[in-house]
């Protein structure tokens, strides 16, 4: 099977790929040397951990090192820009999170175009946003929360990890969808934001499931709804917005893999195939679950369409709410 794949890549490179890659591929099949996976955030977070998990499986299946390089700064823009400028030969990949689809609208100085400068490989996994409230709010369902907010415009607040973060935008999406007035209070990270809600200081929040689950399961806050198409196995008792009769307002924190634009399609397809295999492994599924991620592994074309839709959705939220970097 390995030999057949190598022969396929060599033939495709000679027949259809760009001249630079064809010249390289004619000598040896991909991968013939280590592959760099850029993660534009610090080590230890959920996206970094998920990427390292898959990198290990790619190293094992393709018999070359796939190594993670954390390049941080400017809200992820420095690492993403470096990946964009890398040679489109399949030996540099980029692991992305929501900042990839948010930053171009949030920051006019963002040095890349998410729709033109990268070739999608796959959406590896996603974790939903959870609408949570402190017990003092009094709402036991998401409909009760909306009714309470409408009856008390501008009197309650919600926390987020900072301006333009997924929790902030999820809160603004919620406000616009249901016509409520709730005050945004930014913090310097997801932990402090969640702690403020647990303490009742900013009694509402829209964190990722991985951030919210310990406090919900520990009875410190109430999980009122998940902003996703289906319930989470981690929080099976928390309904979706649709189940609550409120329409499909979706907000996900995700991890996806891309390559620089112009990367050879046979290489993209090979990496997609191998990632899908890795996501199906029991140990990978178990570890992703601990991070709050549901494995996805959609096709490169489907991931590209998803990116386009996400960019448009969050751009509208930011324009309508006049969200800009301070």
Last residue within a domain, chosen from 227, 245, 273: 227
CATH of the domain at 283: 3.40.190.150
CB of 181 within 8 A of CB of 175? yes
pLDDT of residue 248: 82
What would the two tokens of residue 105 be? 């609208």
Confidence grade of residue 64 (pLDDT, cut at 50, 70, 90): very high
H/E element, 254: strand 252-260
| 13, 120: one domain | yes
Assess if residue 286 is contained within a domain.
yes
pLDDT at 125 over 90: yes
| 132, 115: one domain | no
Instruction: Spell out the alpha helix ranges (H) of the chain.
Output: 2-16, 19-25, 46-62, 77-85, 99-106, 142-151, 166-178, 190-198, 209-217, 265-279, 282-290, 300-321
Residue pLDDT, tens place only, 236-247: 999 999 999 998
Q: Residue 132's domain spans which residues? A: 128-227
The 3-state DSSP class for residue 120 equals strand
Assess if residue 208 is contained within a domain.
yes
Structural domain count, the chain? 2
Assess if residue 156 is contained within a domain.
yes
| 73, 215: one domain | no
| 135, 279: one domain | no
| 118, 172: one domain | no
| 121, 15: one domain | yes
The 3-state DSSP class for residue 324 equals coil
Q: At what angle do helices 77-85 and 99-106 cross, to 10 degrees?
A: 100
CB of 192 within 8 A of CB of 231? no
Last residue within a domain, chosen from 192, 208, 227: 227
Assess if residue 89 is contained within a domain.
yes
Confidence grade of residue 28 (pLDDT, cut at 50, 70, 90): low
CB of 198 within 8 A of CB of 176? no
Assess if residue 232 is contained within a domain.
no
């Amino acid at each position: 099977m390995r030999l057949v794949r190598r022969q396929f890549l060599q033939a495709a490179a000679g027949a259809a790929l760009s001249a630079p890659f064809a010249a390289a591929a004619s000598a040896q099949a991909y991968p013939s040397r280590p592959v760099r996976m850029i993660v534009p955030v610090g080590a230890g977070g959920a996206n970094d951990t998920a990427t390292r998990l898959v990198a290990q499986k790619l190293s094992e299946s393709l018999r070359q090192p796939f190594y993670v390089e954390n390049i941080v700064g400017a809200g992820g823009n420095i690492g993403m820009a470096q990946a964009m400028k890398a040679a489109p030969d399949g030996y540099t990949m980029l692991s992305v999170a929501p900042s990839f689809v948010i930053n171009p609208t949030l920051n006019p100085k963002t040095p890349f175009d998410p729709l033109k400068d990268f070739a999608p490989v796959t959406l590896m996994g996603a974790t939903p946003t959870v609408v949570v409230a402190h017990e003092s709010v009094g709402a036991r369902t998401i409909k009760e929360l909306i009714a309470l907010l409408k009856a008390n415009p501008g009197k309650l607040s919600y926390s987020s990890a900072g301006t333009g973060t997924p929790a902030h935008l999820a809160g603004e999406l919620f406000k616009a969808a249901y016509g409520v007035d709730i005050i945004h209070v930014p913090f310097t990270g997801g932990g402090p934001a969640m702690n403020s809600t647990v303490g009742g200081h900013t009694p509402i929040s829209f964190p990722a499931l991985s951030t919210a689950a310990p406090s919900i399961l520990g009875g410190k806050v109430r999980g009122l709804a998940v902003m996703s198409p289906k319930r989470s196995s981690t929080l099976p008792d928390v309904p979706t917005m649709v189940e609550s009769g409120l329409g499909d307002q979706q907000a996900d924190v995700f991890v996806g893999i891309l390559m620089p634009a112009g990367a050879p399609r046979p290489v993209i397809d090979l990496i997609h195939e191998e990632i899908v295999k890795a996501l199906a492994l029991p140990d990978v599924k178990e570890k992703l679950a601990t991070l709050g991620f549901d494995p996805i592994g959609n096709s490169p074309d489907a991931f590209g369409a998803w990116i386009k839709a996400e960019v448009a959705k969050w751009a509208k939220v930011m324009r309508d709410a006049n969200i800009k970097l301070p």
